[in-house]
Structure 1
């Protein structure tokens, strides 16, 4: 069954883009190593505003074994370094396209092993779907949270065997991935800290999404920094208030969690390939994310 909560999140992304229409359904630029843009929602000439070079990095696609399933992922790390702190980078509904890959490279340049797994590849290739409703109904709406959490566990295991120090484990994500950050911080006791960018906090329970962040807030293993937009039409501010109340009644990590709300920022304000991008909150959020990881032992 289609998860209507995810549809709302997808609509928030579309509504932030005034360039909707036929142009958004053309195929945009593709980067090396098979990392592409999502054709469904991007202007034909869309490019990331921030371009992080790969020189000095080991960067590109890898394959992670998940109980016999070969899950692709993009990883970036400083060349020749081991014992690196690990950051999982969780994508929006559009999969691991160039913006997500670039974000991984930004973390690598800050000294991390950053890994962005393709978390709905079993359901389909999000980057190749040319219609947002089809993307939601045929791909994203069929992804179980349990599958995502298991895939992330396998990603952590891969990181430990490939130069990462998983005693210094962080997780960050955007939109759809932002919601999963909260869930994973409650799922894996090894998570030292999370940074959730405008991920939905409440919703109706379903077979595929039995719990939402507000339901698991009290049991966080690592504190989460929530970076949200005050002008986000898909995530009402009262849901942030509900999340704050749930965190205040929880574990030490829950109590240590925090929110920063940028008053005039829309949904996807960090997504520098979209018209929703807001430079000042995006840059401030990035600085806060790095500081949050350092503060909580992910460095």
Structure 2
């Protein structure tokens, strides 16, 4: 049973000892698996269970003078649905991200995963995901342009009759996390923002964010995780974060260790952290542990559905 949670307006520390796969796209794969397990194919609250896998398709939307490729999956349900823009990491739109989109659609969302590399002349292969970190940066994609393309994705969904315009959210993985922050800064109508680590914008940029944001961070990803307390102090109730003990950057690598220092910094003691610390849980290197991802995705679903 999950420990009692504090209200979404308060900071918290998420746990479950162990780590995720250290493979470059291991987080995305495990997130897809974890979300499937967490949802069990359950649709939007009150809409019943969806058993059939929704059909996905590749379309293009306009951003300035460019046509941006995107993978869209619609839930098997009638009426206007909430939507989520899935912003890939720096490996691009690969099969793992497409799987995540499929699973969000099974959970009742219109899942919209833009291929931000599709703007440039030098594009990633369709099934990319093994080139290594920084691949998109080497293509020369500017942060400003990618954010502009994501804002255009939001505007595109606003015109979709099958989308609930009041519930369009965005989720960013790593490289995509910063871009979700920028979307939240520029789009007051964005329903929710969720970041799986990623760089946090400047104080001035954060001050302009009106959208509630949920952040998932790894204890041993020191550079990125160190910013959460400052962000929480600045944003207050608009920012909820969880730190996953024993996890390194990308929720991968590292061995089990104490999570008590992080819990103390957050002003709380998490029973899961205490239990994991007592057991000193470890996992076989390379095989990963889906439990932190599952917990993170359960929290993400609850946050988006609020």
* TM-score, normalised by the number of residues in structure 1: 0.69
Q: Secondary structure at the match of 2:113?
A: strand
The equivalent position to 1:50 in structure 2, one of 5, 20, 33, is 33
Q: RMSD of the TM alignment (CA)? A: 3.2
Aligned length: 236
Task: Find the counterpart in structure 2 of residue 135 from structure 1.
Answer: 135
- The superposition leaves residues 211-244 of structure 1 with CA deviations (integer Å, 9 ceiling, x where unpaired) of x254422221211000001022552x32222222
Select the residue among 229, 241, 266 that pairs with 2:248. Answer: 266
Cα distance 1:219–1:100, how it changes in 2: closer, same or farther (>3 A)?
same
- Compute the displacement of 1:165 (Å): 1.7
Alpha-carbon contact 2:212-2:238 (below 8 Å) kept: yes
Q: Looking at CA atoms only, which structure, 1 or 2, has the larger radius of gyration?
A: 2
Is 1:293–2:282 an aligned residue pair?
Answer: no
- Output the CA distance in 1 between the equivalents of 2:227 and 2:156: 35
Distance of aligned partners of 1:213 and 1:81 in 2 relative to their CA distance in 1, 3 Å threshold? farther
2:4 corresponds to which residue? Answer: none
SS in 2 for 1:268: helix
Is contact 2:86-2:111 (8 Å) kept? yes
Deviations 1:16-36 (A, max 9, x none): 9767xxxxxxxxxxxxxxxxx
Q: Pick the aligned partner of 2:215 from 211, 222, 226.
A: 226
Of 275, 280, 296 in structure 1, the residue corresponding to residue 291 of structure 2 is 280
Unaligned runs of 5+ in 2: 1-19, 42-50, 253-284
Q: Does residue 103 of structure 2 align to residue 106 of structure 1? A: yes
Structure 2 SS opposite 1:50: helix
User: What is the TM-score with the length of structure 2 in the denominator?
Assistant: 0.67
Distance 1:157 1:225, change over 3 A: same
Matched with 2:182 is 183
SS at match of 2:220: coil
Aligned pairs (5 A) from 1:116-155:
116-123=113-120, 124-127=122-125, 131-132=131-132, 135=135, 138-139=138-139, 142-155=140-153
